[in-house]
Amino acid sequence: MAYLSIQDLTKSFPIKGKPDFVALDGISLEIEKGEFATLIGHSGCGKSTLLDLIGGLTQPTTGRIICDSRPVTGPGPDRAMVFQSHALLPWLTCFENVLLGVRQVFSRTESKSELSDRTAAALELVHLTHAAKRYPAELSGGMKQRVGIARALAVEPALLLLDEPFGALDALTRASLQDELMGIMADTATTTVMVTHDLDEAILLSDRILMMTNGPAAQIGDDLAVAIDRPRDRLELATARGAVRYREQVLEFLYRRQARRVESV
């Protein structure tokens, strides 16, 4: 069985006075260890709903999710999430924000200095050693997001779940964080599922792009393997013929096969 196996998953939400809203219907998916998979699809199709289910934040209506041969029944330190809003605690420094998560997972098995070393290593991974003692209010948006990524990576998750992690950032900061994430992924080979709206981000980072059909009752409409050698370079990808073809395939899916009228978005 694959590292992450999603089996015939359905998710419905109760709506007062109306039939349940079926967000996801019959999603089956296998993701191998070390793979970087991206979920892309129109707004409201159910990307975050699927990611939350994998994270164990919500439970499926039917179907099941198996991660590392164990059924997902709730959140766990094996699956770390990073959201668009970094959700740092404002009264703690960067270091303390990361340490908080590290303590939750390792305090029973590791000494104080080991916890501290682990925290420092995670901050170094995102090049924030110099800002360890700063508070979130003293950081730029990109730096806060890097602390969020450090916090997730510090617990050495087997699975990293990213929900539009760079969505709130300007294009240049976004590009540098994407490059940073690519470097981290090359070093750690963490299995990752990322939600994004950004097609170029998906092609740059992914081994696979999972294209979701429009909801309600969304499904995986297409599964595109991105066979571009790593390390990848964003400038080369802008013109490389292979990358341009992937771009066309995703655009074709989103704007022809799953076209949405403006009033329904």
Q: Which of 48, 196, 206, 258 binds ligand ATP (CB under 6 A)?
A: 48
C-beta closer to ligand ATP: residue 93 or 145: 145
Q: Least distance (Å) from ligand ATP to the CB of residue 227?
A: 26
Question: What end-to-end distance do the CA atoms of the chain give, in Å?
Answer: 37
Q: What is the contact mask toward ligand ATP in residues 3 to 32, using x (rule: CB under 6 A)?
A: ----------x-------x-x---------
Q: What is the contact mask toward ligand ATP in residues 123 to 162, using x (rule: CB under 6 A)?
A: ----------------------------------------
**C-alpha distances in Å from residue 170, one per residue of 5, 166, 198, 204:** 34, 8, 13, 17
Q: Least distance (Å) from ligand ATP to the CB of residue 22?
A: 9
Q: Which of 44, 63, 142, 221 binds ligand ATP (CB under 6 A)?
A: 44
- For residue 264, which of 217, 225, 215 has the smallest C-alpha distance? 215
Which tokens go with 199? Answer: 């097609």
Q: Quick one: which segment of 41-49, 60-68, 94-102, 235-243 binds ligand ATP (CB under 6 A)?
A: 41-49
Long-range contacts of 233-240 (CB under 8 A, 24+ apart): 234/175, 234/178, 234/179, 234/200, 234/204, 237/200, 237/203, 237/204
Dihedral sign for Cα 125, 127, 129, 133, please. Answer: negative
Does residue 101 interact with ligand ATP by CB under 6 A?
Answer: no
Three-state SS for 20?
A: strand
> For residue 54, how many C-alpha atoms fall within 13 Å in the half-sphere facing its CB?
35
Size of the site for ligand ATP (CB under 6 A): 12
Assign 3-state DSSP to the chain and report helix, strand, coil percentages, each to 5: 40, 25, 35
Q: Least distance (Å) from ligand ATP to the CB of residue 58?
A: 8
Q: In what order do the strands lie in the sheet with 18-31?
A: 18-31, 4-15, 62-67, 70-71
User: Scanning the structure block, which residue is given the tokens 């699809």?
Assistant: 41
C-beta closer to ligand ATP: residue 108 or 261: 261
Q: Least distance (Å) from ligand ATP to the CB of residue 144?
A: 20
Does residue 59 interact with ligand ATP by CB under 6 A?
Answer: no
Does residue 45 interact with ligand ATP by CB under 6 A?
Answer: yes
Q: Which of 101, 148, 165, 215 binds ligand ATP (CB under 6 A)?
A: 215
In the complex, the residues that contact ligand ATP under the rule CB under 6 A are: 13, 21, 23, 41, 43-49, 215
